[in-house]
Chains A and B, each alone.
Chain A
Amino acid sequence: MRRRVLSIMIMGLILVPFLFSAVAAKTLKIGSMSPLTGPYASDGTDIKNGTRAAIEVFEEAGGMPGYDKIEFFPQDTACDPRQAVSSANKLINLEVVGVIGAYCSSSTIPSSETLAEEDIIMITPASTNEKVTDRGLPYMFRMCGRDDDQAPAAAKFLKESLGAKTIFIVDDKTTYSQGLADGVKKASIALGMEVVAHEHVNQGDKDFSAILTMAKRANADVFYMSLQGYSPAAMMTLQAKRLGMDSQIVTQDAVFQPKYMDVAKEASQGVFLTYGFTDQTTPQYKAFEARYVPKYGKIAAYATYAYDSATALLYAIKAAGSTDPKMIKAELMKLDFQGVAKHIKFRANGDSGSSYIAYKVVGDKFVPYWEPVNGLIK
């Protein structure tokens, strides 16, 4: 008995190191939450790298007055709500001032509630579901577009540019995919198109032959694929082509990743998708490109948004002169400048506006194809 008690005591000693959680020098702590492992790891790594690039640029320009350095803590959410919440808890423990993240709307929404309890600013570069900013959280901001802008844009594209009459919709039940799929369904019906079916698959499924055979049987004009990430989308595209499903495949912004063409190869040619418009001719974009590409590789979907989010946050902290969330928020609302991805100006609820256009896969690039106001892009 005594030996047992003694052994438990010795075990407890293992927990002693935690008693000495050290306090570091004067550093400004910024965190990021994005999937660094799992099927969405490439997008998540882009977000991490974009934030890092922004911090580097900021430190080169003089850094943050009053602080020795800016410390960056990237966290891995793996697009899993549970891991996102525990990453948020970790960042709260680390006492970060702001968080850039997350990627999947199903991760952003729960973790934002956790962060909101501690009044930590969160700017998401990639979560497009409406609920992210609709809940009225005071410190939640969004740099990318919203799905209730993306869905009508997609429906308009289907009707005006493709002239589709029937649509077969598939989603994987996550907040983002299903939200967008529902939005497209509603908007399409409002525009007079017929939604032949709205089917679901599971996140992580590999075999889509049954659903694709169903789609083939339905033979709709358009197959709208709303999946969380390029990897399942690529597999579905490959299998669709192999099965001879000939409906035109249209998908959404989660698939805007060059790796999509690597995996789906020939099958991906001619696929359309909607994504926020990024003007690649602005000087800001070119400067970002010159800086980012040599160190981190190709610019994929969300590096630009993450860069802008981090830049906005750092500017606001500098202008506010303190880490008080209320003052940082006041400064964020005052921001009005041309960022890398878009013009940055936050609205009252934290959104920064969306401008979705349709791209087409040609070769190994995404080519801008159609925009809602003027139609086909020449």
Chain B
Amino acid sequence: MIQEFKKVWKQYTIGMVWLLGLLWPMLGIHADGTLTFQKTLTVWGYILAGTFVCFMIYIMKSGSSFKFIADPISRAANGVKSASTALPTWVWITVVMVLVLIYPQLAGRYGTDVAITVLFYICLGLGLNVVVGLAGMLDLGYIAFYGVGAYTYAILNTTYGLAFWVCLPVSALTACIAGCIVGYPTLRMRGDYLAIVTLGFGEIIRIILNNWMTLTNGPNGILGIKPIGIFLPMFENGFTFEHIWVKKLQFFYYFALGLAIVTAIGVHRLNFSRVGRAWESIREDETAAELMGVNTFIYKLLAYAMGAVFAGMAGAFFAARMKFVSPESFTFLESAMVLCMVVLGGMGSIPGIILGVIALVALPEIFRELESYRMLVFGATMIIMMLFRPSGLIPAKRVGTRSEEKEG
């Protein structure tokens, strides 16, 4: 076993030695003129232990040493699978829906808070998925559309007092316009340039939000946004409608859930439509698509605008939930995080994105003590996913099959 992996061993040891040389200047040289090794070796020791364990698991798995554990697990998994196929699909879907619907009652305030955050990121991830996963354009300024939607609702609500449901389509529309404005000059550019230009646009929008004091109140944000107001039918003295504000977190959960479901259904329908097929062709090979008569520019712009629309709607809900917006919520780091979730889950696959969001938003909440390592894990996740599994945890299902796959 060791023989086969000699090359990998060598790379591993070189990597670890390199890491030691990297860590020592940062940790070991002190301002009082001393050179210590203690801290460096401790940190390096931890990293060495962790990576060594992962490495051994990887080797043993490839070398089938885990048969004594792996076999019962796969048999159990098969058993679960066959059990699950015993019941028809709709039963499972109902179970999931029921669980999801009664979740706030079970989870209490904190859990509902986390779940709402997860739902918002699911919407963002699905929207970004339209741009990155379906149409294949790397957009690093995506969060700006989220910000545009949120600020539209904030400004309209605080200045003109317009209600949420009136502002929601307006938010979507402004985000769409922003998407078109950003998309128009950038879509003719190469992939790498597209990424950096969208990043530039994202930053420009954030800087404008931060500096246009008269419109957006600058870095201090806009306060006093009214939450969602709905009319509930009341049956007391005849049939009247009573206006209530959706302030309670549990209540708001259902709205966020509704938004997520609408977004998921929308993205799903887009994916399996003519538009989706056009996007897939553009993603796979743009020149060929152009040759086959697909108007690449219009479809790319459409992808951009659709992604922006989903983000804008999510932004309006976000503003209604926080009742406060500030430019700091819409930085490049947020964009990178959403991208990480999409990449982790699997670009183009809806269940993959849901899994990616849950993994990257809910799991850190459980591991509270390791809060400061969160971003480190994000970065490492992106690198590791690209190196080992670029299609993500749950890869996208292709529309149709390729000729090579048919023959094989």
The answer on direct contact between A and B (beta carbons under 8 Å) is yes
| CB pair A18 B324 closer than 8 Å | no
User: With an 8 A cutoff between CB atoms, is A373 at the interface?
Assistant: no
Known: A5-B92, A5-B93, A93-B113. A11 touches B355 (CB 8 A): yes
Closest A residue to B109 by CB, please name it.
A93
Closest chain A CB from B331 CB (angstroms): 10
Residues of B near A3 (CB, < 8 A) are: 81, 84
Chain B residue nearest to A7 (CB atoms) is B351
CB atoms of A8 and B224 under 8 A apart: no
State whether B326 touches A80 (Cβ < 8 A). Answer: yes
A106 to B219, CA, bound (A): 8
Q: Does residue A110 face the partner (Cβ distance < 8 Å to B)?
A: yes
Per-residue CB contact flags for chain B residues 360-374 toward chain A (1 = under 8 Å, else 0) read 001101100000000
Q: Which residue in B92, B96, B114, B322 is a CB contact (below 8 Å) of A18?
A: B114
CA A99 to CA B182, docked complex, whole Å: 43
Residues in B neighbouring A18, C-beta threshold 8 A: 107-108, 110-111, 114-115, 362, 365
Least distance between A229 CB and chain B CB atoms (Å) = 13
| Docked complex Cα distance between A83 and B362 (Å) | 18
A295 interface residue (CB < 8 Å to B): no
With A3-B81, A81-B324, A85-B324 as given contacts, are A21 and B210 in contact (CB-CB < 8 Å)?
no
Residue B218 lies at the interface, judged by CB distance under 8 Å to chain A: yes
> Is B211 an interface residue when CB atoms closer than 8 A count as contact?
yes
Contact A7 to B221, CB < 8 A, known contacts A2-B85, A110-B324: no
Known contacts A19-B107, A81-B328; A12/B96 CB under 8 A: yes
A202 contacts B326, CB within 8 Å? no
Residue-wise, chain A 182-211 has the 8 Å CB interface mask toward B (1 for contact) of: 000000000000000000001100000000
- Interface check A331, CB cutoff 8 A: no
B107 contacts A7, C-beta separation under 8 Å? no
A174 interfacial contact with B, CB 8 Å: yes
Q: Does A149 contact B (CB under 8 A)?
A: no
For residues 325 through 384 of chain B, which have their beta carbon under 8 Å from a beta carbon of chain A?
Answer: 326, 328-329, 351, 354-355, 358-359, 362-363, 365-366
Q: A95–B246 Cα gap in the complex (Å)?
A: 21
Contacting B at CB under 8 A, from A95-118, are 106, 109-110, 113-114, 117
CA A175 to CA B329, docked complex, whole Å: 17
Interchain CB contact under 8 A, B223 and A113:
yes
Complex contact A203–B113 (CB within 8 A): no
Please tell me if the beta carbons of B351 and A202 are within 8 angstroms of each other in the complex.
Answer: no
Q: Does B323 lie at the interface of the complex (its beta carbon under 8 Å from any beta carbon of A)?
A: yes
B213–A6 CB distance below 8 A: no
Given contacts A7-B355, A82-B328, contact A106 B220 (CB under 8 A): yes
| A173, B95: Cβ atoms closer than 8 Å | no
Interface of B is mostly: helix
Tell me the minimal C-beta distance from A100 to chain B in angstroms.
21
Q: Are A12 and B224 in contact, with the CB atoms below 8 A?
A: no
Min CB distance A95 to B, Å, is: 9
Is B140 at the interface (CB under 8 A from chain A)?
Answer: no
Determine if A290 is an interface residue (Cβ-Cβ < 8 Å): no
**Does residue A9 face the partner (Cβ distance < 8 Å to B)?**
yes
Q: How does the 8 Å CB contact mask read for A1-29 relative to B, with 1 for contact and 0 for none? A: 11111111101101101110100000000
B110:A113 contact, CB within 8 angstroms: no
In the complex where A18-B110, A83-B328 touch, is A203 in contact with B96 (Cβ < 8 A)?
no
Q: How near does chain A come to B345, taking the closest CB pair, in angstroms?
A: 10
B394 interface residue per 8 A CB criterion: yes
- The docked-state distance in angstroms from the alpha carbon of A8 to that of B353 is 10
Q: Using Cβ atoms and an 8 Å threshold, which residues of chain B touch A175? A: 220
B340 to chain A, nearest CB (A): 17
With A82-B328, A110-B324, A113-B224: A14-B211 Cβ-Cβ less than 8 Å: no
Chain B, range 1-23, C-beta contacts under 8 Å to A: none
A85 lies within 8 A of B111 (CB) = no
Instruction: Answer whether residue A89 sits at the interface, using C-beta atoms and an 8 A cutoff.
Output: yes
Q: B26: CB under 8 A from chain A? A: no
B313 → chain A, closest Cβ, in Å? 20
Taking a contact as CB atoms under 8 Å apart, the answer to whether B84 and A81 are in contact is no
Tell me the bound Cα distance from A80 to B326 in angstroms.
Answer: 8
30 contacts between A and B (CB under 8 A): A1-B89, A2-B89, A2-B92, A3-B81, A5-B92, A5-B93, A6-B80, A6-B81, A12-B96, A14-B358, A14-B362, A14-B366, A15-B103, A15-B114, A15-B115, A18-B110, A18-B114, A21-B108, A21-B110, A80-B328, A81-B220, A81-B221, A81-B328, A82-B324, A92-B109, A93-B110, A106-B220, A110-B221, A113-B323, A114-B323
- Residues of chain B whose beta carbon lies under 8 Å from any beta carbon of chain A: 80-81, 84-85, 89, 92-93, 95-96, 99-100, 103, 106-111, 113-115, 118, 207, 210-211, 213, 218-221, 223-224, 247, 322-324, 326, 328-329, 351, 354-355, 358-359, 362-363, 365-366, 394
Q: Which 10 pairs of residues, A with B, have the shortest CB-CB distance?
A: A18-B111, A81-B326, A21-B108, A93-B110, A82-B329, A110-B324, A175-B220, A80-B328, A5-B92, A4-B351
**Extra contacts besides A82-B329, A114-B323 (5): CB < 8 Å:** A3-B81, A14-B358, A110-B221, A110-B223, A173-B210
